[in-house]
Amino acid sequence: MSKEFLQPSEELKRLAEGISGLRRDLQTTTLSLGRMERRLKAAFPNYPAKKKAAKESKAVPATNKSTEELNKIFDSLVVATKEEGDAGFDRAASDIEKSVILAVAIEIGAGAASRLTVPKAKRGIRRRVQESLQLQF
Amino acid sequence: MNDKKPPKTIATINFKGGVGKTTVTWCLGDLISTYGKSDVLLFDLDAQMSLTQAITLNEDGSLHGKFSNWQERSEKGKKTIFNAIDEYTKPKSFNFGIDYDFIYQIADRYHFVPSSEELYWLELEVFDREKMKGLMRELLGKITWSKKVSNYHYALFDCPPSFTLLSYSVLAVCDLILIPVNPDFYAVKGVPLILNTLKMRIEPLPIPKIAVFMNKAKPYAGKMTRESQFYWNQVQSICLKASEQSGLNVKCLDTPIFDRVQIKRAITSGGIPDDFVRDFKSLWAGITDFLNE
């Protein structure tokens, strides 16, 4: 083999040294950044201004459907899934108003009202539908 | 003349383990013998012996002195439940005297037939499987007519979470099958399974009344949480279909037992916790109403 090229063991050693060097630089940079950040916070405690996490719009109006009505809607989703599978669920769920979807999910205990979004509600309902199908006599 | 009547028999079963069969059976027995005026005989038919251990072990794992003496007498006199089965399955007539060497007295009105580890290999040792099915009928008859033991109003059975020969002999003779379910998918899944099994295995013998209730329901503002209610709705739907399609006499008792920490120590502490008395009284009322329908 030509002496122009490094032996594998030499190549390995060079790479290891390179990695150590980079790690040292990274540590130094992190330390410097940390120091600067601490000085900044000491001088300007409120900087940067804390932004409140933008809450997902809950513009979905509440529904006035009763427990019985919501349970019937859930049953219709079970039937749709039983007949046409997941596609049936998606089709039936897309025909239901968002506020009703949220209310159904809450009614069947598939999510808490304060943290529920429409996609989460659909996922929760789909899981319950699958359980319901498996629990049939 | 002996004016004894056979006890009303209730078997607690669910193929799912951990739903609270043992605790519920024990609490009901304690309730009606302590707060009511009934004499109760409790059977532990589970080879895992959970009920037997909970009743008879001290907190440090040693046997209660009273039980230890009784057990020695019972084993020496060949009066255990396994001896009863052994005697019954012999070709000759069933010669097994019933007295307090077979039955352990927990309290004045609350008596107990403990389990035995030998029940684990019962299925392998019994050759006359067909005959085994009549065991509990014969045994209850002997208990009823024995002058040496109390006149029991109720016999409660803590069944194993499987369909063994022993559970078959109980289910074929009992007045009511009590199925506790929990608010989770797997516990509810046990309901159609057990209803189907009863339909297939007990017939042509008459199938007893079946009562289902929610145990360990999650509470919220004095009611079940919506999740618990969802699973309870599923149970009700299953039972309704079972009644319509299979003609089973199933009733869902709307008297849940809520999940609270104290219940875990109910048996070892020796009494049904005060907080649970009202719930268990409601459950018992539902059971007796159904039994007397």
DSSP assignment of B235-261 equals HHHHHHHHHHHH---EEEEEEEEE--G
Boundaries of every domain in chain B: 8-292
Cα torsion at B118, B120, B125, B127 (round to 10°)? 120
pLDDT at residue B60 is higher than 70: no
Average pLDDT of chain B is: 90
Q: Provide the pLDDT for residue B260.
A: 83
Q: Provide the pLDDT for residue B264.
A: 74
Which among B279, B280, B278, B276 is positioned nearest to B263, based on CA atoms? B276
SS3 state at A50: coil
Sign of CA dihedral B221, B226, B228, B230: positive
- Which chain B residues are Cβ-neighbours of A137 within 8 angstroms? 192, 195-196, 237-238, 241-242, 245
A74/A68 Cα distance (integer angstroms): 10
- For the residues B93-115, what does the mean pLDDT come to? 94
Say if B242 is an interface residue toward chain A (CB within 8 Å): yes
Say if B4 is an interface residue toward chain A (CB within 8 Å): no
pLDDT in tens, B193-208: 889 888 887 777 788 9
**Digitized pLDDT (tens) for each residue of chain A, 137 residues in all:** 557 777 888 888 989 999 999 999 999 898 888 888 888 888 887 777 666 665 555 555 678 889 999 999 999 999 999 999 999 999 999 999 999 999 999 999 988 877 789 999 999 999 999 999 998 87
B148 in Cβ contact with B80 (< 8 Å): no
B156/B106 Cα distance (integer angstroms): 14
Q: Provide the pLDDT for residue A43.
A: 82
Q: Which residue of B has its CA nearest to A127?
A: B185
- Which chain A residues are Cβ-neighbours of B194 within 8 angstroms? none
CATH tag, B8-292: 3.40.50.300
pLDDT at residue B1 is higher than 60: no
Tokens encoding B6: 């056979």
pLDDT at residue B209 is higher than 90: yes
Q: Provide the pLDDT for residue B233.
A: 95
- For the residues B2-10, what does the mean pLDDT come to? 85
B226-246 vs B185-202: helix axis angle to the nearest 10?
Answer: 20
Q: Each residue of B88-117: b (16+ CB within 10 Å) or e?
A: bbeeeebebebebbbbbebeebbbbbbbbe
Q: Which residue of A has its CA nearest to B220?
A: A109
ipTM, 2 dp: 0.75
pLDDT at residue B163 is higher than 80: yes
